[in-house]
Chains A and B, each alone.
Chain A
Amino acid sequence: MMNHKNLSIVLVGLLAAVSSPALAQQPQSPAVTVPEALGSEGASSGPLTGTVTADAWNDLGIAIASFATNEDVPTAANASGTAALGHELARVVYNDLRNNGLFRPVGPDALPRPSFTQITNPAWPTWRGRSAEMLVQGYVRPNPDGRLTVGCYLYDVVLEDELIRDGWVVAPADWRRAAHRCADMVYSRLSGESPFFDSRIAYIAETGPKENRVKRLAIMDSDGANHRFITNGQSTALTPRYSPDYTRIAYLSYADGNPRIYIYDIDSGRQRLVAETGGPTFAPRWSPDGRYILYSMATAGNTDIYRVPAAGGTPLRLTTSPSIEVGGSYSPDGSQIVFESDQSGTQQCYIMNADGSNQRRISFFGGRCATPEWSPRGDQIAFTHIVGDFHIGVMDTNGRNMRTLTNGWQDEAPTWAPNGRIIQFFRTERNSGETSIWQVDLTGRNERRLNTPVGASDPAWGPVLP
């Protein structure tokens, strides 16, 4: 058993090893703060280009060992204490990578548990003997105020070298966020891609028979944890969208008997209409900076797209044709909007400037183009390709290079991961009408169903948490 004095020495040694000047480089936030002594190592960020090719990084064998703790004490984050929490932290990292088809991870259940002192000083022969190419280790340290410091280290076993480290101070309730940040750190360092695990998803939870289905607004972490129903199901809820800062959700509700968009404030639980219009409003979308909301409104049966300041104000009508114009998704720079219209006779995808000017059709590949969503990277548009059955498709922003990613009976409503590498959508089963959320990566591989407590539709993936 290690006593507190030894641990103090260990800790000093650990902290002393962090000699990088990159203290607290990352922006602070109430939920996750970078501990003073454990800034990210700024010197060696960037993918392993040169040593690992774009195709090869995903084949890396990664060992993810139990996170150690300096002191096994009770914590609000785990009924069994900080040592058990360390094991759970590693499992979250492992499941993030495994469930998304990233690397060849081996989890803590199948690995020896490193001691606290080994976190900064890996037992290389042990890991080499297990043919691990990469090693993720970490620790959890309880603080006097009840918060937790979580450190995360990525090592190259072959080179016996540290590639990157980071650390976070989190409230006990946010312990999973530290694990997601760790998984993001590993993924970003090895792939060169932007992070995405530390994010949330809003969606519609569905229960009951097809002819009388209850549809409730619900939210969950990107891995399905921390699930919460927001509405009670008394009135049908549809098509949620997180505000970019996660403080609000725009969604459709029949609360007053008509389909109308409400802006729901997550902290206060209050909501208000997106705009005081007489008509029904639907298909809400946020601008990337969160300052505007697009919505579609029907007037005497004709649906067009409008834009209104998110804080309230006078709506601006962006489309005027007598056909149905609906939806709309901003380019990441906010300058353009992709939307759908049936002015040609069938649903097709169009682009316009953010002020409604220069509208032009981009989809000419046969079938229909619906629910277009602009990639956060800016270079692709995902959409529902209707060719009898419904499939998820992606295309360049000029409508070229269309590719179909899924092959279900009815796959629709794509939403992008924050880094633009994965798409979620919902799938409806023939006859039963059962719905479920699925995801697929941009190559069309790693298709999998997400675990949700009940039926699920209309996923809306938010950005990486602030």
Chain B
Amino acid sequence: MKKSALIGVAIGVLALAACSKKPPAELPPVQQTGAPSTSTPTPTPAQSTAPAPGSQAHFAAAMSGRDVIYFDTDMYNIDSEDAAALRAQAEYLLQHTSARATVEGHADERGTREYNLALGERRANAAKNYLVSLGVPDARVRVVSYGEERPAATGSNAEAWARNRRAVTVMIQ
């Protein structure tokens, strides 16, 4: 009963995103048990420098790239690739129940500054809504928009812009 409710929410999110030129994402598959689908980072010998579970370092290592999702120009819909990444994020957050996350929304430089702040809000919220639809408590995920102010790639070309249109999930330490 709980799963069907979650799927229903997810369908709603996908329906909102239907204006995209991207194909609609597939529904999130039924989750296995709480076992993480990614391997935990290999413990460093001798010293106890292994990142603590729930820390940003631990999360980033566990996600191996799936802590970031990407968007088409001016878009904020969650496509199938994004959905897979967000599922991995949700699993992590559901497993580490004390972890809290911030979703940072970003835009590329080919927009005006204030509109990009609003666009970053849209993107961060789209990602957050998806996480919440998978069962992550709303209170454990905050959002912030950086607009175009914090580019990940510094070029002025289509490739760099694609890398900058993103939502990044980071753990709150």
A303, A340, A347, A430: the one within 8 Å of B121 (CB): A303
Q: Which of A232-251 contact B (CB under 8 A)?
A: 236, 238-239
Given contacts A209-B154, A211-B152, A213-B149, contact A298 B121 (CB under 8 A): yes
Interface size bracket, A side: 35 or more
- Cβ contact within 8 Å between B109 and A433: yes
Q: Is A420 an interface residue (CB 8 A)?
A: no
- Cβ contact within 8 Å between A301 and B121: yes
What does the 1/0 interface line of A321-363 toward B look like (CB < 8 Å)?
0001011000000000000101000110000000000000000
- Cβ contact within 8 Å between A211 and B154: yes
- Cβ contact within 8 Å between A259 and B117: yes
Q: Is B145 an interface residue (CB 8 A)?
A: yes
What does the 1/0 interface line of A25-69 toward B look like (CB < 8 Å)?
000000000000000000000000000000000000000000000
B115, B147, B155: the one within 8 Å of A370 (CB): B115
Q: How far is the CA of A125 from the CA of B101 in the complex (A)?
A: 79
Partner-contacting stretch, out of B22-30, B39-47, B64-72, B122-130: B122-130
Q: Is A70 an interface residue (CB 8 A)?
A: no
Given contacts A211-B151, A300-B125, A301-B126, contact A283 B144 (CB under 8 A): no
Q: Is B119 an interface residue (CB 8 A)?
A: yes
- Cβ contact within 8 Å between A211 and B145: no
- Cβ contact within 8 Å between B155 and A340: no
Q: How far is the CA of A283 from the CA of B74 in the complex (A)?
A: 19
Q: Is B61 an interface residue (CB 8 A)?
A: no
Q: Is B114 an interface residue (CB 8 A)?
A: yes
Q: Which of B48-68 contact A (CB under 8 A)?
A: none
Residues of B near A187 (CB, < 8 A) are none
What does the 1/0 interface line of B70-85 toward A look like (CB < 8 Å)?
0000101000000000
B112, B129, B144, B152: the one within 8 Å of A412 (CB): B112
* Residue with the greatest number of chain B CB neighbours at <10 A, chosen from A211, A215, A236, A301: A301
Nearest chain B CB to A381 CB, angstrom units: 15
Q: How far is the CA of A258 from the CA of B121 in the complex (A)?
A: 11
Nearest chain A CB to B165 CB, angstrom units: 15
Interface size bracket, B side: 20 to 34
* The 3 nearest A-B residue pairs measured at CB: A301-B125, A298-B121, A303-B118
18 more CB-based (< 8 A) A-B contacts, given A259-B147, A340-B115, A433-B151: A210-B154, A213-B149, A252-B117, A257-B144, A298-B122, A298-B125, A301-B124, A301-B125, A302-B122, A303-B118, A303-B122, A324-B119, A347-B112, A371-B114, A413-B112, A413-B113, A430-B156, A433-B154
- Cβ contact within 8 Å between B145 and A259: yes
Q: Is B150 an interface residue (CB 8 A)?
A: yes
Q: How far is the CA of A386 from the CA of B111 in the complex (A)?
A: 8
Give the A-binding residues of B (Cβ under 8 A): 74, 76, 109-110, 112-115, 117-119, 121-122, 124-126, 129, 143-145, 147, 149-152, 154-156
Q: How far is the CA of A210 from the CA of B149 in the complex (A)?
A: 9
Nearest chain B CB to A395 CB, angstrom units: 17
Main secondary structure of the interface of B (DSSP, over half): mixed
Residues of A near B155 (CB, < 8 A) are 431
* Residue with the greatest number of chain A CB neighbours at <10 A, chosen from B152, B154, B155: B154
Q: Is A282 an interface residue (CB 8 A)?
A: yes
- Cβ contact within 8 Å between B149 and A280: no
B74, B114, B124, B150: the one within 8 Å of A326 (CB): B114
Residues of B near A413 (CB, < 8 A) are 112-113
- Cβ contact within 8 Å between A298 and B118: yes
Q: Is A223 an interface residue (CB 8 A)?
A: no
Q: How far is the CA of A213 from the CA of B154 in the complex (A)?
A: 11
Nearest chain A CB to B119 CB, angstrom units: 7
- Cβ contact within 8 Å between B150 and A239: no
- Cβ contact within 8 Å between B152 and A326: no
Residues of B near A340 (CB, < 8 A) are 115
Residues of B near A252 (CB, < 8 A) are 117
What does the 1/0 interface line of A5-35 toward B look like (CB < 8 Å)?
0000000000000000000000000000000
Residues of A near B122 (CB, < 8 A) are 298, 301-303, 324
Residues of A near B144 (CB, < 8 A) are 257-259, 280
